[in-house]
């Protein structure tokens, strides 16, 4: 398969994932605010990226809400080669992989998710996170509570 075809497929996957997340949020808003509603339009150039504490190289940009206070929508950018040890997040969260390839280890098994993929972690499920070499990973997160990163004890060997 040619490079142009692969890039086109990746772009279509990214757009599709973003539209899926957007449509689900929009349907809920439309149903609760018939005839009215609100609109959030946030060009990528307006995102305000900040460092993620205790995760050198990782960046976060809020799209709606404040991740440090409660439910929110935000982007996380992980540099290529980034790895986070075994951890969990207190709130349930639902995520689209916008770019790069992220690898999670869950229950001892690796799961590779390229751009356009979807995943969720609920119930404080422990996992490791790795952004594969070659491209930064950008994730769009629908987080249902205050965002945190809780380290787990290293597994005994």
Which CATH number is 3-151's, of 2.60.120.10, 3.90.1150.10, 1.10.3720.10, 3.40.50.1980?
2.60.120.10
Complete edge-to-edge strand list for the sheet that includes strand 101-106 = 109-114, 101-106, 127-131, 83-88, 150-151
pLDDT tier at 153 (50, 70, 90 boundaries)?
A: confident
pLDDT, mean of residues 110-134: 97
pLDDT given at position 29: 52
Model confidence over 1-26: pLDDT tens digits? 454 444 434 443 444 444 344 444 54
Name the CA dihedral angle for 93, 65, 48, 98, rounded to a multiple of 10 degrees: 30
92 pLDDT higher than 90: yes
Query: Among residues of the chain, what percentage have pLDDT more than 70?
Result: 77
Q: Which of 22, 39, 15, 5 is nearest to 142 (CA)?
A: 22
SS3 18: helix
pLDDT band of 42, cuts 50, 70, 90: very high
How far apart are alpha carbons 118 and 101 in whole angstroms? 12
The string over 94-106, giving b where at least 16 C-beta atoms fall within 10 Å of a residue's C-beta and e elsewhere, is: bbbbbbbbbebee
């Amino acid at each position: 398969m040619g490079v142009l075809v692969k890039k086109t497929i990746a772009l279509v996957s990214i757009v599709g994932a973003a539209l899926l997340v957007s449509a689900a949020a929009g349907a809920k808003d439309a149903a609760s605010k018939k005839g009215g509603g609100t609109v959030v339009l946030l060009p990528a150039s307006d995102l305000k990226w900040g460092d993620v504490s205790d995760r050198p190289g990782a960046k976060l940009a809020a799209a709606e809400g404040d991740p440090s206070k409660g439910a929110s929508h935000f982007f996380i950018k992980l540099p290529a080669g980034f790895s986070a040890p075994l951890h969990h997040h207190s709130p349930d969260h639902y995520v689209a992989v916008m770019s790069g390839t992220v690898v999670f280890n869950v229950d001892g098994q690796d799961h590779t998710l390229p751009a356009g993929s979807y995943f969720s972690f609920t119930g404080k499920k422990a996992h490791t996170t790795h952004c594969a070499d070659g491209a930064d990973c950008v994730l769009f997160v629908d987080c249902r509570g205050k965002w945190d990163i809780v380290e787990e004890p290293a597994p005994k060997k």
